[in-house]
Structure formats: structure tokens, C-alpha cells
Amino acid sequence: MSEESPTLRIDFLLDTEYQYAVGQYGMRFFTGLRDHARFMGVRCPECGRVYIPPRPVCGICYRELQEWIEVGPEGTIVGWTVVRIPFIDPMTGEQRPVPYGFALIRLDGASTSLYHFLDEADERKIRVGQRVRAIFREKREGSLRDVLYFHLLEG
Amino acid sequence: MPRRVAIIATGQTKHAARRLDVNIRELITEAVTRALQDADLRMRDIDAVLLGNMEPFEGFLFPELWAVEGWGGYMKPSVKFNTGGTVGTTTAIAAYYYVASGIYDVVMAIGFEKQSEGHTQTAITTVGDPVWERSVMAGAIGNFAVMATTYMHESGVTEEQAAKAAVKARRNACLNEYAHLQMPDITVEDVLKSEMLAYPVKRLDMCPQSDGAVAVIFAEESKAQKLAPRPAWVRAVATAHEQQYMGDSPKRLAEMRSLVAASRRAYQAAGITNPRKELDVAEIYEVASFAELAMYENLGFCDRGEGGKLIDAGVTALTGELPVNPSGGVMSTNPIGATALIRVAEAALQIMGKAGGRQVEGARTALATGYGGNAWTDVIILSRERP
Amino acid sequence: MRRVAIIGAAQTRFEARKASLAYNELVYGVVRELLDRTGISMREIESMVTASQDAYDGKTISSMAINEVVGAYLKSEAKVAADGLQALLYGAARILSGEFDLTLVVAHCKESEGQPSAITGLMFDPFLQRPLGLEELIAAALQARRYCRRRGVRPEDVAFVAAKAHCQALKNPYAQRAGAFTVEDVLASPILADPIHELEAAPRSDGACAVLLASEWRACQLTDRPVYIVGIGNCTDAYWTERDLAEARALQEAARRAYAMAGISDPAREIDVVELSARYAHEELMAIEALGLHTSPVEFITQDRAPFINPSGGPLCGNPPTVSGLVRVVEAYWQLRGEAGERQVLGARTALAHGAGGICGQNQTVVILRRA
């Protein structure tokens, strides 16, 4: 076949829905977020690591996790970026306006980090180690979107 | 002791952004035919076929079973793997274990992807945990950019140093007839001036999306010696995982726990104490410029924080002390289901002395890695000497 | 060749919807049970093979959600995107390679979270068949029609298979669907795709199972009653529209290889228990022939011949895809250890476990297990 010969393609729209179970650990976390604007993590009885997201087992010690403790709402930036490429928001199917700040945030008291948005989109104003605070929505529904974004604190 | 296992043949397609001239079956056939020709084998010589592919990228369930005629699998044992970026090395490592076990003597590992046929961003978005990560996601590039700033902070590596890795990849690719992105005239300036996607990652820092397939044939000792004049012996394989979520790894690229664990385990098994001196060539799964430099550190090619200096000194250039990715690497060619197996194929070509214009003279020990999913790692070490 | 032993097994109850459990919780539960039953700590387990499907989980790289709960942190795990019995084969290969002494094999699926018809539709040829809106059930119905006509199997015969399975499942506490159904009940159940009735097709299920494999010397340290894997066979057939659906050549070939490895020459006499992944009742009849158990499968089932088929009730009584083949091994292991409770087949020494993948069983796996 020559490179120039016309090619045919079949278009196929894949549209299937999923209903993901949040699970028992997730239920506790998201109800805490929704009802009290609180981040709840779980602590490993062996190594003491505090996990966000909460989960059934510490992967490092393979110990079951049952001790719940509150973490945040302030934290520290572990890594960050300012996204300038278009990205379709998987929750809405619409393009999220660019640019926006995006970071991996270690909540105070947690051993692991969460991704979330920042209220700053200027590369010169964001750095690793900077302090941030979660800004919650007034009306919360039990999802990570109950946090609007993290606000950069001075200093 | 496990049976000794060697790679005796490889075959690749011409990788490209869109292989509109072939469907998935035909794409696989192209790689399989070349692998069989490489060792003058026929399908009847192959005991079993292992396949690697990331079917969400094509919107398929069991694409390999639909494509069975394309890889000659009729009435043969087969199994499919799907582990993200590592799938090619997952498949190669499985081929190694199956042959080492004595269950099969000759096994063909195949990796394939027609990324042009599906919606790559959708498939990558659904890598994120649906409850915990997907609602606050910025795609593979946003996620990667966050890791890159952590790494820059920890190591002091610069955007210019990262750009050098991107330039090396695209120039090396010009010596590889199968590579997708070949850019003979690319400069560090070009990379730095390319479109900013998400600070510090620019378009030319990232890997492309490709269509492509690769086949690698593994054989036990006596068949390997009979069928290949210079087989590439498998000296060590190792896999290590991370924890469940993307934010679990404390320092991400700056301290890649799974790459450190897997590489040290493989070095130990292969009797390697100084990888920079004892390896002759490495084909690593680098996904982006910053990752390549971070991987130098985590693989022990240099000390922590020295990844940038290593590329400045030209140590990993094709003519350097330890050439990394003579093929052009993932930054030049990335059909996901095939990408990590291409690393293994390229490492084997170096040992077999069949790497053409990208051949590292006298290569006797080669490293191949796969990296993917939630930062997990596969490592394979090949050698000219029988273990 | 060295031998591989099975030294532990666990499964969840199969249910239509396990709404309260996330994937990691579902899998943690079954792995925890396995560890508790065997008294083995996760620290001792060096390697893991898992089976799951991205399309069912709605997640690219479905294993990412469970790596941590299967204990894979810094360890070697690999995921097969195939039936769970394929994961067992790879786990066995890992042990036989001499590199690992203990390998955990886990399979999971929650069919309730996605849309199974749309998902199985993704197995079909994108150019010629997807535009027709096919799904697995429709292909199975075409196969059932062709097989029954070719072999003179009556609707009552197929219904008998389904009735028997559901009666047997009354003895299985893990079963999702069970009942003292008659042939008439089965034939009175709604037709899903002619000629397949609702009770002749596996229900949609959520569930998981786990099996622990050990090298022979390690097994002897850890248990006095190991079960050995003595034969394995796998075979891939042509795509469903490129073969005669009334035949099960891949299963015949997989069985031939497994029997040869196990030294079995007369399977009907030498095997005591058979656990089949027959997701539609007619597949059980096809398998009885293909496995060489009897030339007339209808005579075989109606006359209660040995070996005993599906003491668990089989997939018609609960069938999370990908878990299907591996849970056959869980049941076979309990049967061979004499731990199968009310459904125990007395004196079972040798068992066959069967798994299948793809449209109309395009890929077939047979494993022979024998108690020490």
C-alpha cells in the first residue's frame, strides 16, 4: 500500500457509566469533609505514618489501620505546577480554564500528600515548602471538590 | 537454580504518530514477522505467546484475542498483561519466568499500541483513582510537572539540563530507523522555547504518543545457543511497587523508592557493584526529560543531586562512558503497550551487536527499565556472558 | 520438574452488589482471610500475581487500586488482564523458576459498578461487529443454538444442567444464586437471548478470591496437607467468527496438555472433581465432551456419572468475571483437603479446574490438582 492511498477509519463512541463505591474508609473521610469541613486520616499502629487518603492497610507494615485522626487544614507544598495546556475535566466533561495552579500538598499531621488546586497561577509566586490552607465550599456534598482550592499563606 | 534464559530475536514496527496504513492486527504482524526473520524461526517454533497492551487506549476488551491471526496464536498458549507504562517489561519478565520455569522453551513477548485510535487523555485520566484523584487531576502532564518541581527543588537541576536530555533523545533517534520523533537539528534553545505546558514542562520535554509494536523471543539455554549466534542472556529481573496513591511517595522523582529497590535487587543478582562502570549501555523508561535525570540518580549512575551534572559532562551521550537510550528512548517513541518492551529489545540489540548506527561498541552488559502505574518499576539486566 | 503446591485459599461471598466496599477493601478482606487461615505473614510472601480487567473496574491499570492491599510494596507483582486461572499459571511459573517460594494469586471484579453489556461489547470486531451492538450473551446464544442442533441436545437437557447447578449451590455458603429449581422452573425463566434462559446464564456478580502458592519444600514446612498442581494447559482458539462454535478445540488441546503433564490417560476414571467455568449452561455439556469425560454429555449428567461436576454450583450461581477461573481452584482445593463442608465429594484425590476468556471461550485453561 502506498502512503498516499486514502485510509478509512471507523468512528466509535465509547460511553459507559461507572458507579464507583467510595468504600468504608472513604465514607468516613468524605462525611467528615462534608459535615465538618475536616480532613480525617488513619494512623499505622506500627510505623506511625498517617495516611491520606485513608485506607484499610499500611502498605509498608501491612498492618490494618483503625486509628482516625484529624489532619490539616493547613499544609505544605511538596510539588507544584501551573497548568497551561487544555485539560478536559473528567467530572464535568468540560475544559477547565487555564492557567491554574496545581500542587501536591502535605497536610499538617499527614505522612502522605494529596493533589489539589491552588488559588495562584503565577509561577514566580509559588515554591516548594510554601504553606497553604484549604478553602472549603459553603455547600458541601462529600467529594474532594468540597475543597475549592488551597490558598497560599504569606511567608 | 532457574534455567538460563536468553533473548534470541527482536522485531519492531516503524513507530509513528499515526499508522493509518495498518489496523492493530497488521501492526502486530509487522513486528512478529521481523522477530521471526531475525532468528530464522517460524511460528511453530514458538511454544507460547505473551502479550502486553493497554487496551483502554483503544477502547477494547481482549484486543489481542481479536487480533490473534496477526500474531499467529492459533492453538497456542497465550496470556495478556496490562500494567501501564511497565506493561512491556511486565511481559518480558513473565516470558523470562515462563521459560525459566521449564513450562515452555521458546516464548514470544509482544507489546503493541495504536494510541491514535483511542482517546489518550481519557485513558490517562482514568489512571487516577476515581474517588480520590480523578476529581482533582491535571492529566499526565500536570501530574508529571508537579513531580518535576519537587525534583528541581531537591536536586537543583535546571531546565537547561533537562533540555539536554530531550535533545540527546531526539538526536539519537535519528540513528534508529524505527524511532518516531527524529530531530537532527534540535537544540537546547528549541526545547526551552517550546510551548510551556505546565511549569517546568515544555512540549519538547515530553514523550510523544505513537502507534507501534515490538516482539522479543526468549529461549532456554540449549535452544538459545542453537538459534542465535550471540544471544542476550537474562542476568537479572526485578520488580518493585509503590503504595496505592500518587501522593504516597514522599519525594516522588527525587527519591524513587521502587526504582531504587528494583535496581539494587537486580544489580545484586547480576553481581554489579558500580553500575556506571559495569553497565555498558542503558535503555531506560524516561517519559520526560526531567525524569531521565532523576533516574540517573535513582539508578545509582551518580550521587543524589548530580543528575544534571552527569548530562552536562556527556557521560550518558552515545559516545559517553555510559550511553543512555541510544535508541532515542521514550521521548522519541511511545506506543505505551510496547514502550517498555522496546527498551528490552533495544538493550538486546546492543548485546547482540545488531543496533546498527546506534550500536555502542563492545556492549557486554545492558540495562532496561520499565516505569509506570503509580511509580512502580521493572528492571532487566542482559549480558553477552552466559550467567 | 519441581512441583508447585497450593497451601491456602479464600473467597468472598458472591453478591450482585457489594455497594459498601471499595476495591481495595474488597481485596483486603479476602487476602486477610487467607493470611489468617494459613497463619502466614505478608512479610514472608515475596511475589504476587493478580487478575482484573480495566474495562470492568473503570480504571486504567485496575491493579493500581489493589497493589498495596495485596502486599506488593517494593515487591514483585504483575497483573494479567485475563481470566484468574491464567494468574495461577503465571504464579506457578514464578515458583517453578526457582526465584520465589511463596506467591499470592488474587482475582477481583465488581460487575455492579459498570455496564456489563457495554463492556463485553468491547470484545467485538470494531469494523464488522460493533456496529451491530453485539455483547457476550448474544455470541453465547448463537453458540448454544449451533452446538445443541449439531449434537441433538434438547432444551430440557440444557435446563437440567442449570437446575442441577442451583440445587448444588444450596450447599455453598458463598453462592449468590441457589434454589431447588426444576427443569420446568429453568425453562420458565425469562429468555435473555434465545435459546438462553435467565437461569442458564451466570448472574452479574461482585467478588474476589485468593490462593497461596508455595514451592514444594516450603509447602512441606507450612502444611502437612498440601495440594499439588500436577498439570497445566492453556490454548488460544481463532476469533469467534473464524471458527466452528459447536467445537471446543482450544479446550480439548488445553486438556490434552494438562493430562499429559499429570500423566492422566483416562480422565473420567482418574479425576474425582471437576470445577468448570461454564458461564452458560450449554458450555458445561461442551466441556464434558472436550475434556474427554464422556462422548454423550447428556447421558453423563442425567446418569450422575463420575467425576462430580461443579460441587460449588459453578458460575451459574455467582460469577465475577476474571475471578471465575481462580475460584474454581479455591473450591477444588477445599474438596481435595476435605474441607468442603456439606458439598464435600468423598475421597476426592484429583481435581480439574477450568477457566476461559474471550468470546465463546476463545482462550481456555485447564489445571489438574492432586492432594499429597
What predicted TM-score, i.e. pTM, was given to this entire model? 0.97
Domains of chain C: 4-115+204-222 (3.40.47.10)
> What are C143-187's pLDDT values in tens digits?
999 999 999 999 999 999 999 999 999 999 999 999 999 999 999
Same domain for B99 and B110, yes or no, is yes
Helix, strand, or coil (residue B123): helix
Phi, psi of C235 (to 5 degrees): -155, 140
Percent of chain C with pLDDT strictly greater than 90 = 94
In chain A, what residues touch B147 (CB-CB under 8 Å)?
A: 79
Do the chains contact at B134 and A88, CB–CB below 8 Å? no
Residue C62 has pLDDT above 80, yes or no: yes
In chain A, what residues touch B120 (CB-CB under 8 Å)?
A: none
CB B369 within 8 A of CB B259: yes
Q: Does residue B264 or residue C114 have the better pLDDT?
A: B264
Cα(B212)–Cα(B114) distance, integer angstroms: 6
Tally DSSP H helices, then E strands, for chain A: 1, 8
Q: How far is B323 from chain A (nearest CA, A)?
A: 30
Instruction: State mean pLDDT over C44-50.
Output: 97
Closest residue in chain B to residue A124, using alpha carbons only: B199
Nearest Cβ partner for B198 among A9, A82, A115: A82
Cα(B183)–Cα(B171) distance, integer angstroms: 6
Q: Containing H/E element for B310?
A: helix B307-312
In chain C, what residues touch A21 (CB-CB under 8 Å)?
A: 18-23, 110, 113
Residue A1 has pLDDT above 50, yes or no: no
> What are A61-94's pLDDT values in tens digits?
999 999 999 999 999 999 999 999 877 776 677 7
> What are B128-161's pLDDT values in tens digits?
777 777 777 777 788 899 999 999 999 999 999 9
Nearest Cβ partner for B56 among C60, C123, C239: C60
Chain-centroid distance, C-alpha C326: 5
What pLDDT is recorded for position A88?
73
Q: Containing H/E element for B101?
A: helix B87-101
Helix, strand, or coil (residue B37): helix
In chain B, what residues touch A52 (CB-CB under 8 Å)?
A: 247
In terms of Cβ atoms closer than 10 Å to its own Cβ (0-12, 13-18, 19+), residue B353 is middle
Nearest in space to C278 (alpha carbons), one of C356, C168, C167: C356
Same domain for B105 and B74, yes or no, is yes
What pLDDT is recorded for position A5?
62
What pLDDT is recorded for position C305?
86
In chain A, what residues touch B125 (CB-CB under 8 Å)?
A: 88, 90
Region of B328 (left: φ > 0; alpha: ψ -120 to 50; beta: rest) is left
What are the respective helix, strand and coil percentages of chain B, to the nearest 5? Answer: 45, 20, 35
Q: Which of residues 136-175 of C touch B (CB under 8 A)?
A: none
Do the chains contact at B61 and C59, CB–CB below 8 Å? no
Do the chains contact at A17 and C114, CB–CB below 8 Å? yes
Cα(C356)–Cα(A44) distance, integer angstroms: 40
Cα(B18)–Cα(C286) distance, integer angstroms: 43
Range of the domain at A40: 23-152
In chain B, what residues touch A150 (CB-CB under 8 Å)?
A: none
Same domain for B273 and B351, yes or no, is yes
Instruction: State mean pLDDT over A1-26.
Output: 73
Percent of chain B with pLDDT strictly greater than 90 = 86
Helix, strand, or coil (residue C37): helix
Same domain for B318 and B266, yes or no, is yes
Closest residue in chain C to residue A17, using alpha carbons only: C114
Phi, psi of C6 (to 5 degrees): -105, 130
Assign A2 a pLDDT band (cuts: 50, 70, 90).
Answer: very low
Q: How far is B45 from chain C (nearest CA, A)?
A: 16
Least confident of B271-275, C7-11, C130-134: C130-134
Task: Report yes or no on A8 lying in a domain.
Answer: no
What pLDDT is recorded for position B122?
65
Least confident of B130-139, C84-93, C300-309, C320-329: B130-139
* Average pLDDT value over all residues in chain A: 90
What pLDDT is recorded for position A13?
67
Same domain for B177 and B47, yes or no, is no
Residue C248 has pLDDT above 90, yes or no: yes
Residue B123 has pLDDT above 70, yes or no: no
Do the chains contact at A81 and B201, CB–CB below 8 Å? yes
> What are B293-347's pLDDT values in tens digits?
999 999 999 999 999 999 999 999 999 999 999 999 999 999 999 999 999 999 9
Q: How many domains are there within chain B?
A: 2
Closest residue in chain C to residue B256, using alpha carbons only: C74
Task: Report yes or no on A125 lying in a domain.
Answer: yes
Closest residue in chain A to residue C74, using alpha carbons only: A60
Closest residue in chain A to residue B248, using alpha carbons only: A112
| CB-based contact, A66 to chain C, within 8 Å | no
Q: Which of residues 23-42 of A touch B (CB under 8 A)?
A: 23, 26
Mutant choice from C25, C127, C128 vs A, greatest count of A C-beta within 10 A? C25
Q: Does residue C302 or residue C212 have the better pLDDT?
A: C212
Cα(C9)–Cα(B384) distance, integer angstroms: 42
Cα(B291)–Cα(B321) distance, integer angstroms: 20
What pLDDT is recorded for position C236?
98
List subunits contacting chain B, requiring 3 or more Cβ pairs under 8 Å.
A, C
Assign B162 a pLDDT band (cuts: 50, 70, 90).
Answer: very high
Task: Report yes or no on A30 lying in a domain.
Answer: yes
What pLDDT is recorded for position A9?
72
In terms of Cβ atoms closer than 10 Å to its own Cβ (0-12, 13-18, 19+), residue B303 is exposed
Which of C290-321 are b and which e, b meaning 16 or more Cβ less than 10 Å from the residue's Cβ?
bbbbbebbbebbeeebebbbbbbbbbbbbbbb
Q: How many domains are there within chain A?
A: 1
> What are C219-247's pLDDT values in tens digits?
999 999 999 999 999 999 999 999 999 99
Phi, psi of B240 (to 5 degrees): -140, 140
Assign A20 a pLDDT band (cuts: 50, 70, 90).
Answer: confident
Do the chains contact at A90 and B126, CB–CB below 8 Å? yes
In chain A, what residues touch C43 (CB-CB under 8 Å)?
A: 62
**Among candidate residues B227, B258, B289, the one where a domain is terminated:** B227
Closest residue in chain B to residue C357, using alpha carbons only: B62
Closest residue in chain A to residue C32, using alpha carbons only: A64
Task: Report yes or no on A12 lying in a domain.
Answer: no
Task: Report yes or no on A134 lying in a domain.
Answer: yes
Range of the domain at B93: 5-120+210-227
Do the chains contact at B132 and A90, CB–CB below 8 Å? no
CA atoms within a 13 Å half-sphere pointing along the CA-CB vector of C321? 27
Q: Does residue A11 or residue B352 have the better pLDDT?
A: B352
Same domain for B136 and B80, yes or no, is no
Instruction: State mean pLDDT over C307-319.
Output: 97
Instruction: State mean pLDDT over A32-50.
Output: 97
Nearest in space to C82 (alpha carbons), one of B212, B83, B129: B83
Task: Report yes or no on A102 lying in a domain.
Answer: yes
Same domain for B26 and B71, yes or no, is yes
Task: Report yes or no on A72 lying in a domain.
Answer: yes
Residue B100 has pLDDT above 60, yes or no: yes
Cα(C125)–Cα(C120) distance, integer angstroms: 12
Assign A3 a pLDDT band (cuts: 50, 70, 90).
Answer: low
What pLDDT is recorded for position C153?
97
**C-alpha torsion angle, residues B270, B271, B273, B278 (rounded to 10):** -70
Task: Report yes or no on A27 lying in a domain.
Answer: yes
B109: domain CATH number? 3.40.47.10
What pLDDT is recorded for position C77?
96
Same domain for B143 and B38, yes or no, is no
Nearest in space to B236 (alpha carbons), one of B324, B327, B368: B368
Same domain for B189 and B290, yes or no, is yes
